[in-house]
Amino acid sequence: MKARVYVSLKSTVLDPQGQTIRAALNSHGYRDISDVRQGKYFEIALDPATTREKAHQDIDTIARDVLTNPVIEEFRIEFLD
Amino acid sequence: MKFGVVVFPGSNCDHDAWYAVRENLGEEAEFIWHDSRRLGAVDAVILPGGFAYGDYLRCGAIAKFSPVMEAVKRFAADGGLVLGICNGFQILVEAGLLPGALVRNAGLKFVCREVLLRTETAESPFTGAAAAGQVLRIPVAHGEGCYVADERTLDELEAEGRVVFRYIDNPNGSVRDIAGVLNAARNVIGMMPHPERASDPLMGSTDGLLIFRSMVSALAHA
């Protein structure tokens, strides 16, 4: 089983890297790009013997306590069998 | 007085802090390794600047799980003085000992220069030797020093006089020009500028010493 965790800055937090990328794209001719937000992506492999329930519980806790700082970031999890 | 300077893998201002305490302040200092579960007989703790654990994941994110941080949390809960400088500040917010977070500088550049700080309160063990409003010249050196927190937290910090230093010319986009904050009990401080780099006359400013002197005086009267 694999889990994918997508971490992004909360919409209220300034993302100067995203803004710089957006400006670069615009000046490159991609004038339709109105916003870019940069985030992080984690691919986590779990032991095949792990139960679905435990995997969901653990990955949720890990995403909350380790992979993100709740003051500035939010996350989304996907599971792949 | 004995200052404990925590050394994480990747700390790079640990020796500067040690030097400032020993040579410029004239007090005792010893290093505390990050996997130590005890702080030993120290009167105050310094979390120095640097890039603990390579700043992997987020600045301070891995350091907060170090064995030594459990001891630092107990020390802080018992009222011990904890000074987090730069990366040390980032570790303290990640560990939940201080509110808010530190993110990438608004200008994206690593900023390394002297800044002017306004001392917003003298009512703390770290600024007791200063006058409220006193301007200090202390260098910053960071890429992720932009302080952020939600509005409610910021209002609370201001109302309780816990914004301890403010930038006069904000170098990193920090909200409300915040350069340093205190915890609610006022015994833990985090600041992005480096007082240990402004403690020796050779460095051009000794304003940073005022923070260490305040700590010594607070400990003497405790």
User: What integer pLDDT is reported at residue A14 of this predicted model?
Assistant: 87
Rounded to a whole number of angstroms, the distance from the CA of A64 to the nearest CA of chain B is 12
State which residue of chain A sits closest to B90, comparing Cα positions: A69
Q: What is the CA radius of gyration of chain B?
A: 15
pLDDT (tens digit, 9 = 90+) per residue, B172-188?
999 999 999 999 999 99
Q: Do A13 and B104 touch (CB under 8 A)?
A: no
Cα–Cα distance for residue pair B191/B47, rounded to 1 Å: 11
Contact between residue B82 and residue B190 where contact means Cβ atoms under 8 Å apart: no
Q: Is A66 exposed, middle or buried (0-12, 13-18, 19+ CB in 10 A)?
A: middle
Min Cα–Cα distance to chain B from A12, Å: 9
- What is the per-residue pLDDT across A10-56, written as a single tens digit (0 to 9) for each? 998 989 999 999 999 999 999 999 999 999 999 999 999 999 999 99
The nearest CA of chain B is from the CA of A44 a distance in Å of 14
Mean pLDDT to the nearest integer, B51-64:
95
Which of B103, B157, B181 should we substitute to test contact with A (largest number of A Cβ atoms within 10 Å)?
Answer: B103
Q: What is the mean pLDDT of residues B67-72?
A: 97
Say if residues B150 and B119 touch (Cβ distance below 8 Å).
no
CATH of the domain at B145: 3.40.50.880
Report the pLDDT value the prediction gives residue B176, as an integer from 0 to 100: 98
Q: What count of CB pairs under 8 Å joins A to B?
A: 35
Helical H runs in B80-164?
87-94, 151-159
List B7's β-bridge partners, or say none. Answer: B33
Other CB atoms within 10 Å distance of the CB of residue B155: 12
pLDDT digits (tens, 9 = 90+) for B29-38: 999 999 999 9
The partner residue sitting opposite B106, judged by closest CB among A16, A66, A72, is A16
Q: What angle do CA B147, B153, B155 make, to 5 degrees?
A: 100
CB B53 within 8 A of CB B8: yes
Question: pLDDT, tens digit, for every residue of B117-146?
Answer: 999 999 999 999 999 999 999 999 999 999
Estimate to the nearest angstrom the gap between the alpha carbon of A10 and the chain centroid: 11
The residue of A72, A73, A74 whose CB has the most chain B CBs within 10 angstroms, and thus the best one to mutate to test that interface, is A72
* Closest approach of B155 to chain A, Cα-based (Å): 16
| pLDDT for B82 beyond 80 | yes
Distance CA(B122)–CA(A28), nearest Å, equals 51
pLDDT of residue B222: 76
Residues of A with CB under 8 A from a CB of B: 9, 12-14, 16-17, 20, 66-67, 69, 71-72
Residues of B in contact with A13 (CB under 8 A): 103, 148
- Answer yes or no: do B101 and A69 touch at CB < 8 A: yes
What residues does B189 pair with on adjacent strands?
Answer: B83, B182
Q: Which two tokens stand for residue A80?
A: 């792949």
**Phi and psi angles of residue B218, each rounded to the nearest 5 degrees, phi first:** -65, -40
- Domain of B213, in residue numbers: 2-220
Nearest to A17 among B100, B101, B104 (CB): B104
pLDDT of B190 strictly over 90: yes
Number of domains present in the structure of chain B: 1
Q: Do B58 and A71 touch (CB under 8 A)?
A: no
d(CA B37, CA B191): 25
Catalytic residues of B: 86, 194, 196
Which of B94, B105, B108 comes nearest A69 by C-beta? B94
Residue A50: half-sphere exposure toward Cβ, Cα within 13 Å: 18
Domains and CATH numbers, chain A: 2-80 (3.30.1280.10)
The SS3 of residue B218 is helix
